[in-house]
Amino acid sequence: MIINEKLIDFYGKFKNKEDAIHQLITMAKIENRIKDVTIFYEAVMKREAEASTSLGYSVAIPHGRCDEVSEPFVAMAKLKEPMMWNDKEVRLIFLIGVPKSSSDNLHLKILANLSKHLIDDTFREVLLETEDVQEVLKLFSEF
Which residues are annotated as catalytic?
Answer: 63
Would you call 5 exposed, middle or buried from its count of C-beta atoms within 10 A (0-12, 13-18, 19+)? exposed
- Write phi, then psi, for 47 (nearest 5 degrees): -65, -40
Q: Cα angle vertex 1, ends 124, 121, to 5°?
A: 10
